[in-house]
Amino acid sequence: MLSELHVRNLALIEKADVEFGQGFNVLTGETGAGKSIIIGSVTIALGGKTPKDIIRKGAEYAYIELIFSVRDLEKVRLLKEMDVYPDGDGTVIISKKIMPSRSLSKINDETVTAGKLRDITGLLIDIHGQHEHQSLLYKSKHLEILDRYQEKKSHELKENIAVTYGEYVRLKDRLSSFRLDEESRLREMDFIRYEIEEIENARLKEGEKEELSSRYRLFLNAKKITESLSIAYSAVDSDFISRALKEVESVASYDDRLSTIRDQLFDADSILSDINREITSYMDDLSFDEEEYSQMEERLDVIHNLEAKYGGSLDQIFTNREEKQNRLEELEDYDGAKKRTEEEFYRVSDRLEHLSERLSEMRKHTAKELTEKIKEGLNDLNFIDVEFSMEFSRLGHYTAGGFDEAEFLISTNPGEPLKPLGMVASGGELSRIMLAIKTVLADTDDIPTLIFDEIDTGISGRTAQKVSEKLAYIAGNHQVICITHLPQIAAMADCHYEIAKAVEEGRTATSIHRLTGEEVIEELARLLGGAEITQAVRANAREMKRLAKEGR
């Protein structure tokens, strides 16, 4: 679950720290107080789009930190597979630092890409806002919802389809290469033979380039090496040490301590003599052969040219040669290779068709169960006499997910025909339909935290009560965080937070704090009573909270 949220210098927020609880967390506040900024900060931290000018005026950067507590062993395993390791308490920290020129995302202090961030956080949290329930207008979302509902049942089959589809695409591309006329085939064969011969005639050897490069570098710097060694030889060859040794040796018999100095000078003289012999030997061996230098240069040119044409390393060149040899054999037995590829393509196509058909049948069977449950959920959300179903059609091509195209259909009035959601549902209705779907998925969905923003758009009264009950139901198995302006929803909260806006030192600032005891009643009364909060409104708020608690 999302245990903590910390925000610094984001829009109207100078500093906000929230500790969320388990179950149903509700955020309320006056219009314009900054409720959307709180949820927006979570969205940004999870890899969402960062609006321009989001950094609070006068600040150098904005900072968002999400602290998750992951206790589920399967979730921990999946995170570790993605190189994310929760600590001993199951803590995972996601942070985002937003600077004027760039942003930086981290998970447990390790920088991550936006793509990896989305993959990882997809295991931990699901944000439902206006954008998501508007996504119900797209048919691709409908099939995604169905597959998510039956994920455990169809997971292995979908993996097999994806692998088979990859093979299908490969063979299809290969078949397209069998379109050469006889002249083009012969021309390509000649060119490939030339390339293979070029590689083979070079007689490349393992480690040859490195050895040549080292020797070539030595030749290139032979003059400098000779000059430096000559100077070193002259410096080491001076007779200062020998003279010093003779002088000390002549007086060493007068004091035993002088024998130590004599011995040290003797060792130094021997070492310098050895060094001089090494320098002399090295310089004798260092001979510059113009012909050898030219041969090395030519050989390195051959190797570099082959690398430029066929790959940047010896292994890549040999792999390239092998691929060309295979292509040559294919061209030599053109008709036979084409026939074998066609046979393999048709075999894989048949398998893909069979697997896709199985998935389609599974989907159609599951769709009846899913739409019936969604219909029940819609009835609970005050959709009277609603009809809800799913219509399937076949695409004109295969995909990694089979060949199905599916769409939810709805009729909200008796006698009206079923129509696509986009032709019937309003914005408020779409949000309730998505809530019904989320309620059904809650029993199979293993994402621990769900955030609902704008779920109460266009509803009130009895419908609002139904929505609150649905959210409370989902919160029985998930952590739910919800922004609302409706008292019916707020009354159901296990943890209630108030978002407020105030002017401090001439600047507007948004703050958030958890309400307790009478503070909760006072906020419910504000939601109920508007401008004037009377004792009767407070009593009503208290009764609403009591009934909500009993109803849970």
Whether 127 contacts 451, CB under 8 Å:
yes
The alpha carbon of residue 307 and the mean position of all alpha carbons in its chain are separated, in whole angstroms, by: 34
Q: Enter the tokens of residue 464.
A: 């609002």
For residue 17, count other CB atoms closer than 10 A to its CB: 13
> pLDDT value at position 287?
64
Contacts of 19 (CB under 8 A, 6+ apart): 3, 4, 514
Nearest 5°: phi and psi at 255? -155, 125
Residue indicated by tokens 């999870």: 46
Going residue by residue through the chain, which has 552 residues, state the pLDDT in tens, using 9 for 90 and above. 999 999 999 988 888 899 999 999 999 888 766 777 888 888 889 888 888 888 988 899 999 999 999 988 888 888 988 888 898 888 999 999 999 888 899 999 899 988 888 888 888 888 776 666 667 778 888 998 899 899 889 999 999 999 999 999 999 998 887 777 778 878 888 999 999 999 889 888 888 888 888 777 777 766 677 777 777 777 776 667 777 777 788 887 787 788 888 888 888 878 888 887 887 777 776 666 677 778 888 888 888 888 888 887 888 888 999 999 988 888 888 888 888 899 999 999 999 999 999 999 999 999 999 999 999 989 888 888 899 999 999 999 999 999 999 999 999 888 889 998 878 766 667 778 888 888 888 777 778 888 887 777 777 788 888 888 888 888 988 899 998 888 999 999 999 999 888 877 777 778 888 999 899 999 999 888 866 788 888 899 899 898 888 766
Measure the CA–CA gap between 484 and 28, rounded to whole angstroms: 6
In whole angstroms, what is the distance from residue 383 CA to residue 369 CA? 19
What 8-state DSSP symbol labels residue 177? Answer: T
Query: Is the separation of the CB atoms in 484 and 26 below 8 Å?
Result: yes
* Separation of alpha carbons 359 and 161, rounded Å: 9
Confidence (pTM) = 0.65
Q: Which runs of consecutive H residues, i.e. helices, occur in 311-333?
A: 314-332
Q: Do 269 and 174 contact (CB within 8 A), yes or no?
A: no
What's the confidence (pLDDT) of residue 313? 84
459 close to 381: Cβ distance less than 8 angstroms: no
**Close Cβ partners of 133 (under 8 Å, ≥ 6 residues apart):** 427, 430, 431, 433, 434
If DSSP codes are grouped into helix, strand and coil, which group holds residue 426? coil
Four-residue CA torsion sign, 270, 274, 276, 280: positive
Q: Spell out the domains of the chain, with CATH numbers in brackets.
A: 1-124+447-461+476-513 (3.40.50.300), 202-328 (no CATH)
- Please identify which residue in the block is written with the tokens 């952590």: 479
* pLDDT number for residue 381: 85
Strand spans (E) along 21-102 = 24-29, 62-69, 91-98
Q: Residue holding tokens 């060309």?
A: 324
Question: Which two structure tokens, joined as six digits, stand for 156?
Answer: 């292995």
User: Under DSSP, is residue 245 helix (H, G, I), strand (E, B) or coil?
Assistant: helix
Distance CA 72, CA 249 (A): 83
Whole-number pLDDT of residue 75 = 86
For residue 452, count other CB atoms closer than 10 A to its CB: 27
In degrees, rounded to 5, the angle at the alpha carbon of residue 76 between the alpha carbons of residues 72 and 78 is: 120
Which strand ranges, in their side-by-side order, compose the sheet holding 419-420? Answer: 387-399, 402-411, 419-420
Name which of 432, 429, 410 is nearest 421 in CA terms.
410
Taking Cα atoms as reference points, which of 41, 42, 46 lies closest to residue 10?
41
Residue written as tokens 């991550």?
112
Using alpha carbons, list the distances in angstroms from residue 57 to 54, 383, 459, 543. 9, 46, 36, 44
